[in-house]
Structure 1
């Protein structure tokens, strides 16, 4: 029998970013005052008796929220995190404003860009189906289906051969039975028994391969069913879990996703939050030290460092380690100012460490300026 190819576990994982087509997709924004008299903005209609209006067109949602109203102790995340961690360095202060972002298909990072709860992250963190990874997964599904189809054909071919073999052995035995007793009959019977043993061995091997095939095929079916189900949830998600430095879990609403860049805007309502100032990415030069903060490989509140290796169209390139989970986190200069949003990593060879890419922060402020409560100024030149 042809040796059947070894079965391998099917399944695909990964987080791939991609450049996206131009346009902005925006949600309807609701505007209302909370119990403390503070203006709130969200794409989800609030459960309140206070008057609610929608923000759209040319109206600026920042108009009446230049300064946040006072909040109680439990809702002042800036004060709580500062009191707990007592940051003494610039980077330690920065980490208070960086969050983990979780969706049904994975996780990434983000950071507060205002003290009223606005969060910048990557689009592919909150919309995995739009990051190009889904195309790779679909391609892998097709490839896995081809592998399964080939194994199925091999099994069917072996089964057909065994049916023919079984008939020949049966006919051979009938012929032997019709012979009169003689030494030739005994030799023929010995030959028949040898064929029968060979048939039984092939049959057991076929049953074993069939069992392996059924197991792999069922695993593939479950993985694809789970992926398709989770993809449908991810494509419609409007709320996401975020994790603060102290692992506190909150809910953030999706406000806006950019189709031009790998960016998304979320918002946590009802809290005063720590926030990061934006720097001048145009001043970033080759050799300048930078820091990346995020949740690489699920390890929240992690920092890596490097330099700006070069600038290219639409990206800052750095040798700071950008790993899965860093996506959406800030790339910072030595002053602790955001100069970019980490988005992906590429390598020239399979063994190369590769370089990280970050979207310049000027792109972020241009894309989301009208949704942020106030411009975040920087003293950098």
Structure 2
């Protein structure tokens, strides 16, 4: 079978047996996978990253194993779990989960209710404006039929005041109505874009990863857990640094831990905290977990991984607790693939 090679929108080389709609000047047809290896194929990334970044401690060395993952849904974090390029991350970094889908549907339903209420209120206000204008027009017609000049002057003064009030109200209404329509239109566009991104993410099989030294590569999707917020990617053909799991005995209350991730535009940011406890398959921590940190590792001071940071739960009057899926759970779910 023919293999097609092309650069995606991020400048990353992609190898696939499925051509794009029409091969163009940017697409090379390769006779076999072994004939044209990808740029850097076979490179020892552990040596490359360590040589470039020169980690000064175990935390910085652990950060060499962490990367940013780009998907149609946005950005998240992942980390190498073997020296052969397997990458663990959260499912919701790559695809819309059932939980997120339900949450999104709830938010959209509430938004539609608010839009409907606002539309009704604006329609009622427009009707009131229309009634007010009719009353003004009727009042103006009756002015000339008043008996005395003084009565007509007073009526004209009153009419001028009410007309000014109507014009001010009408101008304000038009402005608010236009702003409302603009916001609704923008919201509809956002919903369509979200649905499009979700559809793309559901069928996407290759994801751009950005390593600690800012180099970009393409990793393929291996597995998505049907029951847990876990997914597995694979960077083929490279020797990679990886995080070794900490012993279960390391999960003790009060133990110091570090969360590594890629919040917003920051790269490999590290936050410190302690283990607050366990809750089912989760390790609870007060280490700061920001948007974009999802899929990153929660590690010990020795650089061993305890779990995968997955979400943050806000509590009343407190900033919130971070939750990480414990590595024993991760290995139980992904272990059969890692052993291959």
Q: Specify the TM-score bucket, using the shorter chain as the normaliser.
A: 0.7 to 0.9
Q: 1:237 and 2:208 equivalent? A: no
Q: Counterpart in 1 of 2:11?
A: none
Q: Counterpart in 2 of 1:204?
A: 171
Question: Once structures 1 and 2 are overlaid, which stretch shifts more, 171-180 or 75-84?
Answer: 171-180
Offset at residue 121 of structure 1 (A) = 0.5
For residues 83 and 63 of structure 2, what CA distance do their matches in structure 1 show? 14
Q: Does structure 2 conserve the Cα–Cα contact (< 8 Å) formed by 1:114 and 1:372? A: yes
Render the CA deviation track for 1:23-62: whole Å, top value 9, x for unaligned: xxxxxxxxxxxxxxxxxxxx965966379xxxxxxxxxxx
For residues 184 and 92 of structure 1, what CA distance do their matches in structure 2 show? 88
Q: Counterpart in 1 of 2:108?
A: 141
- Map residues 324-363 of structure 1 onto 2, 5 A cutoff: 324-349=291-316, 351-363=317-329
Q: Does structure 2 conserve the Cα–Cα contact (< 8 Å) formed by 1:280 and 1:362? A: no
Aligned pair partner of 2:77 in 99, 102, 109: 109
Q: Does structure 2 conserve the Cα–Cα contact (< 8 Å) formed by 1:123 and 1:131? A: no
Q: Counterpart in 2 of 1:4?
A: none
Offset at residue 178 of structure 1 (A) = 4.0
TM-aligned CA distance change 1:166 to 1:50, over 3 Å: closer
For residues 245 and 108 of structure 2, what CA distance do their matches in structure 1 show? 42
TM-aligned CA distance change 1:300 to 1:176, over 3 Å: same
Render the CA deviation track for 1:257-298: whole Å, top value 9, x for unaligned: 112221110011122211122222244222332222221333
Aligned pair partner of 1:76 in 26, 44, 60: 44
For residues 283 and 197 of structure 1, what CA distance do their matches in structure 2 show? 75
Offset at residue 123 of structure 1 (A) = 0.9
Q: Counterpart in 2 of 1:299?
A: 266
TM-aligned CA distance change 1:373 to 1:167, over 3 Å: same
Question: Once structures 1 and 2 are overlaid, which stretch shifts more, 243-252 or 188-197?
Answer: 188-197
Aligned pair partner of 1:167 in 88, 110, 134: 134
For residues 223 and 158 of structure 2, what CA distance do their matches in structure 1 show? 77
Gaps of 5+ in 1: 1-42, 52-70, 375-381
Q: Does structure 1 conserve the Cα–Cα contact (< 8 Å) formed by 2:41 and 2:237? A: no
RMSD value, Cα: 2.6
Offset at residue 252 of structure 1 (A) = 1.0
For residues 48 and 324 of structure 1, what CA distance do their matches in structure 2 show? 42
TM-aligned CA distance change 1:355 to 1:180, over 3 Å: closer
Aligned pair partner of 1:156 in 113, 123, 136: 123
TM-aligned CA distance change 1:77 to 1:175, over 3 Å: same
More contact order relative to length (CA 8 Å, sep ≥ 6): 1
For residues 307 and 189 of structure 1, what CA distance do their matches in structure 2 show? 76
- Map residues 113-128 of structure 1 onto 2, 5 A cutoff: 113-127=81-95
For residues 82 and 93 of structure 1, what CA distance do their matches in structure 2 show? 8
Q: Counterpart in 1 of 2:228?
A: 261
Q: 1:364 and 2:330 equivalent? A: yes
Per the normalisation by structure 1, the TM-score is: 0.74
Offset at residue 125 of structure 1 (A) = 0.9
Q: Counterpart in 2 of 1:28?
A: none
Gaps of 5+ in 2: 1-14, 19-29
Q: Does structure 2 conserve the Cα–Cα contact (< 8 Å) formed by 1:44 and 1:253? A: no
Per the normalisation by structure 2, the TM-score is: 0.82
Aligned pair partner of 2:161 in 194, 211, 236: 194
Q: Does structure 2 conserve the Cα–Cα contact (< 8 Å) formed by 1:251 and 1:268? A: yes
Q: Counterpart in 2 of 1:49?
A: 32
